[in-house]
Structure 1
Amino acid sequence: EKNNDLYSATSMNFLGSEPILMRSSPVSIRTEFKSSWLNEPHFVSMAQMPESDKSEEGDDDKVYLFFSETAVECDCYNKLVVSRVARVCKGDLGGLRTLQRKWTSFLKARMDCPVLESQLPYIIQDTYRWCDPEQHWKHCLFYAIFTPQSDTSDLSGVCAYRVSDISRVFEEGKYKNPVPVETSFVKWVMYSGEVPVPRPGACINNEARKVGITQTLDLPDRTLQFVKDKPLMDQAIQPIGEKPLLVRRGAKFTRVIVNQVQATDGEKYHVMFIGTEEGTLLKAVNYDGEMFIIEEVQLFQPPVSIKILQFSNVTGQLYAGSDYGAAQVPLATCERSLSCVDCVLARDPYCGWDKTDKKCVSISNSERELIQSVKEGNASLCPDADPVKPVDRFIWPGGNLKLSCPSPSNLAETSWERDDRLLTPSARFQLLRDGLLILNSSASDAGRYRCVSVEHSKADDYTSTVAEYLVTINSKGFGRGGQPLSPQAQTDGPSVAGLQAVVALLVVGLVALLAWNFYKGHLPLPWNCGKNRAQPQGTHDQEAVNSNVTHQDALRPALAESKPLVSGTDNNGRNNNHTGGEAAFNAAGENDAPEVSLPSLQYIDDESEI
């Protein structure tokens, strides 16, 4: 800020056992190390409010701290966590004797967000301060997201609070007072005694200045001792309407940011962008008490928790961050709606249907009159859509056919009709998310198939035809125009010509290889087979002896090198090697070679013989 003062909510030690709210400045101020001030807190966010601006009481600016902590006022056996908002004055200098260099204006109050089905208080996770620059600070709002403190519920909620309501509790509300009872137990009850003047926890204002108190160092000890012992307010702060703006089941909310947009009806709407633990971004609006989610987008894969949400006035984009990356998201994706009905039923205040260009566009980029109905979702304002043209599809008996039908919206319900009668799913007619699958078709399956979409809105239910097909069963295997229905082998085209060229090259290569082997003598020519049989016996025997000696000489070193080759054990791997040796011996015998001496294959039982 302009005074270079740093406000921080943290812990004084690494153990986290000394939580503080402090201001680092020439005169540093911090909280007391007392459980009545901060009791095992989890800090969420801070925000400052210019409450001295146009203040008739001469009030000071404030700093608000949002956190959750273990409740000291709870009369229960188990620890109960509650949500809090605390407030300090920016001009606080501490007390003269009591609360020296400690906050004299630290007050805190419980925050309620009554989510359905909740028996335990929901816990605050994030806040966003929204202020209209054209209005006074008293009209500012705090949006906060809450999640359950137990695993019995999977609901998350968004509540909105007026800054004026929070300020009123601190300025006019009752205090809670700790009262010792038996067994050294402290019970917190509403304080009904006399409240010192100046009011404990209040900022220095015109009324205090009239009596000579111009700074917190001038405050009397009675006031300071009161706020030191009783910083907790008795009244809880309730949200606007005393109920959440949005409640949703599923992934827990993690971050929230709000942007204001003016729709075609002239009203301004607050659009909430909410990050979840599964990496999705929700876009939601509350229309006069109706909770409505416009869309949900998966930003990160695999799903990871969204830790940061920021809006840029320069780019007009949202930025989401996780532990593994960041994403840039536009405020509106109007082009996703392909028809007027889809555009209007989306109820997105950023988008409207352009009748001239026949597309869904952003209202900020168009000067024409657009069709939009965000509160009611009245799609009857749209002109009549062009009728869907039927598509011819053919199938042979016993075949399978898929008819596509993309759903226009996640909120739409699709169904199929055959010849204007509702089609009941069965083993042969299977409804898919994006179409209809017909299995083992027969002649009775021919007809007109229509995919019908029904979407509900506050104004009415709207039915539209998404796709239409004319299915024909042809037992001859040919459809209109003589087109084959069953798969046929392709006999021409560039792919067949290429295959023929490859086969020709293979044949030429094979002929060349055979000719080379005949020329080298590796293969006998057909007319030389008789000559080989008439070869002299002596020459044949000599060649056999030479070849056998070469084989035997080559076999012995291999047998001597590896003991497993000839060992007589039952190991499978070794038996396989031994069988290989016998096969070599038998092959030598079949070539009419002299017998190999069996002692050369004797077993080696002693390793010293190797």
Structure 2
Amino acid sequence: MIPDNEDRDDNKVYFFFTEKALEAESNGHAIYARVGRLCVNDVGGQRILVNKFSTFLKARLVCSVPGMNGIDTYFDELEDIFLLHTRDHKNPVIFGLFNTTSNIFRGHAICVYHMSSIRAAFNGPYAHKEGPEYHWSLYEGRVPYPRPGSCASKVNGGRYGTTKDYPDDAIRFARSHPLMYQPIKPAHKKPILVKTDGRYNLKQIAVDRVEAEDGQYDVLFIGTDNGIVLKVITIYNQETESMEEVILEELQIFKDPVPIISMEISSKRQQLYIGSASAVAQVRFHQCDMYGSACADCCLARDPYCAWDGISCSRYYPTGTHAKRRFRRQDVRHGNAAQQCFGQQFVGDALDKTEERLAYGIENNSTLLECTPRSLQAKVIWFVQKGRDGRKEEVKTDDRVVKMDLGLLLLRVRKMDAGTYFCQTVEHGFVHTVRKITLEVVDEERVEEMFHKDYEEDGPHKMPCPVQSSIPHGAKPWYKEFLQLIGYSNFQRVEEYCEKVWCTDKKRKKLKMSPSKWKYANPQEKKLRPKAEHYRLPRHTLDS
């Protein structure tokens, strides 16, 4: 129920739905999204529409992308509606989630509507079927009084106490002219978000309005059919009349990829509640500390909930002490880290810190040099330094060297691939070397000889890390033969690497080495770490 004014007798209920309809644009049945409207005090007519609604009207809800030659791409099937309530209870902002009914492609769109547009359509002309084929057209004849679809209220003259008192011609007209002629178009005449990548189907939407340093933003929480929730903001550029989409997070809510069937938000508690067919989950709106410990990372996140406070990335509050406001750095619209973070070298700032790792690749096998930026909007560029000349060259990709979301994939590793690789991100003019990886290539034949020899001598069921007491005096674990293939110039760190890769969990616990000391950990070790609640895209999310 959305009121039009202070007269309760004039209150109306709105219905959002999809229906098959025969429209003027085609002779066949089409699917359209609709807005229907009824008076709350509708009790039906006296002789016509007895005990049936007599004030029902409907209008088409349009969500389309303008195309060339005036041909739009329409999203006609309504998936979900969210009403964002404002201080003016008569004018909530309406968010509609749509998908296509086209057989050519699958896509989803989100459109925003204002109540003024909806009221204008219902106060406008009626549609009328006329002509030999009964096409819908503008009705230009006489409209009876009281206006069909209006409520029995003081605002409408107060002549009629209930709809039972309405004249028969007014009710008869309402029954034969339920459709309004003017469609309801979204703000900016286009969607605020369009998804056609086909990764998942969008099913649910919830919206929270946030006050940031540079204005007001609507944070969209979008539920999918595989248990994922997207946290998104859209930024409208008035000069270019374009919309920028910023995906802040991708949350894997449920362990199994089940459809999300309901979402509710609590702005007061800063919580999102998500339901599937078998479970309900609670998720915080924000987790600012996951954006890193640097001012630049916090600023590039462009999350309106978060700001750099001089020490860490923390919750942004529109009001605060003068001291706190002086150190806050936030730029949601532009994400200009270079400008916002100039001179912000406080405790916890990691601008100049680059993570270093060591990786081994066996000749003619494949290996992945892992590196994922914190921001989906960041562009990743790989550089490599070979030999001692110190020159860095950009890595050229081909059918053997492939850039992946998780890093750089080398297929059929060659000896010439050995070197130091630099993973560099570029976003809004800010350049940051995220990771430095030294790749050493091991000869394939020598590895095969070693493992073949070991298999023959000790059998197929040999333990990778035998109990210490069972090792004869002077003997060494079998995997240490691997070190002979590499050389002993970096013996200590290679031995640590091998211990980490091949030892069992029990053995690893006995070593009592802290995770930070395992600088060159096996990529599989990530599965053994405590699972975080969620990660920012494009990192692969873990189960909550």
- TM-score, normalising length: structure 2: 0.69
Offset of residue 306 of structure 1: 1.1
Instruction: Say yes or no: does 1:115 pair with 2:69.
Output: no
Q: Give unpaired runs (5+ residues) of structure 1.
A: 1-47, 499-610
Find 2:395's aligned residue among 409, 423, 431: 423
Is residue 361–residue 439 contact of structure 2 (8 Å, CA) maintained in 1? no
Alpha-carbon displacement from aligned partner over 1:135-163 (angstroms, at most 9, x marks no partner): 351x3211111101133222100111111
Alignment of 1:559-598 (within 5 A): none
462-471 vs 343-352, which deviates more? 462-471
Alignment of 1:530-549 (within 5 A): none
Alpha-carbon displacement from aligned partner over 1:424-448 (angstroms, at most 9, x marks no partner): 3579877662457698775x76765
In 1: Cα distance, 2:369 partner to 2:156 partner = 79
Offset of residue 166 of structure 1: 0.7
Instruction: Say yes or no: does 1:453 pair with 2:419.
Output: no
Alignment of 1:405-444 (within 5 A): 405-414=371-380, 415-418=382-385, 419-425=391-397, 433-434=406-407
Q: Give unpaired runs (5+ residues) of structure 2.
A: 237-242, 386-390, 442-483, 508-544
Offset of residue 261 of structure 1: 1.0
Offset of residue 123 of structure 1: 1.2
Partner of 1:317: 271
Offset of residue 485 of structure 1: 5.8
Offset of residue 222 of structure 1: 1.5
Is residue 60–residue 89 contact of structure 1 (8 Å, CA) maintained in 2? yes
Offset of residue 213 of structure 1: 2.2
In 1: Cα distance, 2:13 partner to 2:363 partner = 75
Partner of 1:16: none
Query: Highest relative contact order (Cα 8 Å, sep 6+), 1 or 2?
Result: 2
In 2: Cα distance, 1:430 partner to 1:96 partner = 74
Alignment of 1:68-83 (within 5 A): 68-74=18-24, 76-83=26-33
In 1: Cα distance, 2:359 partner to 2:495 partner = 10
Percentage identity across paired residues of the two chains: 32
Is residue 221–residue 229 contact of structure 2 (8 Å, CA) maintained in 1? yes
Find 2:334's aligned residue among 346, 355, 376: 376
Partner of 2:434: 466
Offset of residue 378 of structure 1: 0.8
Which secondary structure state, in structure 2, belongs to the residue aligned with residue 223 of structure 1?
A: helix
Q: How many residues align?
A: 427
Partner of 2:474: none
Partner of 1:175: 126
Which secondary structure state, in structure 1, belongs to the residue aligned with residue 297 of structure 2?
A: helix
Instruction: Say yes or no: does 1:260 pair with 2:209.
Output: yes
Distance 1:314 1:261, change over 3 A: closer
Is residue 64–residue 190 contact of structure 2 (8 Å, CA) maintained in 1? yes
Offset of residue 399 of structure 1: 11
Which secondary structure state, in structure 1, belongs to the residue aligned with residue 169 of structure 2?
A: helix
Partner of 2:489: 479
Instruction: Say yes or no: does 1:215 pair with 2:162.
Output: yes
Which secondary structure state, in structure 1, belongs to the residue aligned with residue 170 of structure 2?
A: helix
Alpha-carbon displacement from aligned partner over 1:252-308 (angstroms, at most 9, x marks no partner): 22111111111123x221111111222221111221232332222222343222110
Find 2:96's aligned residue among 116, 121, 144: 144
Alpha-carbon displacement from aligned partner over 1:174-204 (angstroms, at most 9, x marks no partner): 11122362xxx53322111111122111113
Partner of 1:326: 280
Partner of 2:88: 135
In 1: Cα distance, 2:228 partner to 2:315 partner = 23
Which secondary structure state, in structure 1, belongs to the residue aligned with residue 117 of structure 2?
A: helix
Is residue 83–residue 123 contact of structure 1 (8 Å, CA) maintained in 2? yes
Alpha-carbon displacement from aligned partner over 1:83-137 (angstroms, at most 9, x marks no partner): 11111111222222222222221111111001367655521111111121x3351
Distance 1:317 1:434, change over 3 A: same
In 2: Cα distance, 1:300 partner to 1:395 partner = 35
Alpha-carbon displacement from aligned partner over 1:500-552 (angstroms, at most 9, x marks no partner): xxxxxxxxxxxxxxxxxxxxxxxxxxxxxxxxxxxxxxxxxxxxxxxxxxxxx
Distance 1:309 1:392, change over 3 A: closer
Partner of 2:316: 363
In 2: Cα distance, 1:488 partner to 1:187 partner = 76
Instruction: Say yes or no: does 1:186 pair with 2:137.
Output: no
Higher Rg of the two aligned structures: 1
- TM-score, normalising length: structure 1: 0.62
Offset of residue 49 of structure 1: 0.8
Offset of residue 324 of structure 1: 3.1
Is residue 261–residue 349 contact of structure 1 (8 Å, CA) maintained in 2? yes
Give 2:53's aligned amino acid.
W
Is residue 390–residue 470 contact of structure 1 (8 Å, CA) maintained in 2? no
Distance 1:437 1:363, change over 3 A: same
Alpha-carbon displacement from aligned partner over 1:569-608 (angstroms, at most 9, x marks no partner): xxxxxxxxxxxxxxxxxxxxxxxxxxxxxxxxxxxxxxxx
Distance 1:394 1:417, change over 3 A: closer
Distance 1:91 1:450, change over 3 A: same
In 2: Cα distance, 1:174 partner to 1:396 partner = 72
287-296 vs 116-125, which deviates more? 116-125
Is residue 417–residue 451 contact of structure 1 (8 Å, CA) maintained in 2? no
In 1: Cα distance, 2:337 partner to 2:233 partner = 19
Is residue 341–residue 379 contact of structure 1 (8 Å, CA) maintained in 2? yes
Which secondary structure state, in structure 1, belongs to the residue aligned with residue 65 of structure 2?
A: coil
Offset of residue 386 of structure 1: 4.2
Distance 1:52 1:441, change over 3 A: closer
In 1: Cα distance, 2:104 partner to 2:362 partner = 54
In 2: Cα distance, 1:228 partner to 1:396 partner = 76
236-245 vs 314-323, which deviates more? 314-323
Give 1:388's aligned amino acid.
K
Give 2:4's aligned amino acid.
E
Partner of 2:297: 342
In 2: Cα distance, 1:85 partner to 1:127 partner = 11
In 2: Cα distance, 1:413 partner to 1:297 partner = 22
Partner of 1:606: none
Is residue 416–residue 423 contact of structure 1 (8 Å, CA) maintained in 2? yes
341-350 vs 153-162, which deviates more? 341-350
In 2: Cα distance, 1:51 partner to 1:342 partner = 46
In 1: Cα distance, 2:333 partner to 2:119 partner = 32
Which secondary structure state, in structure 2, belongs to the residue aligned with residue 94 of structure 1?
A: coil
Offset of residue 486 of structure 1: 8.3
Distance 1:146 1:391, change over 3 A: closer
Instruction: Say yes or no: does 1:242 pair with 2:196.
Output: no
Is residue 270–residue 285 contact of structure 1 (8 Å, CA) maintained in 2? yes
In 2: Cα distance, 1:187 partner to 1:402 partner = 62
In 2: Cα distance, 1:397 partner to 1:323 partner = 47
In 2: Cα distance, 1:439 partner to 1:353 partner = 44
Which secondary structure state, in structure 2, belongs to the residue aligned with residue 49 of structure 1?
A: coil
Is residue 394–residue 479 contact of structure 1 (8 Å, CA) maintained in 2? no
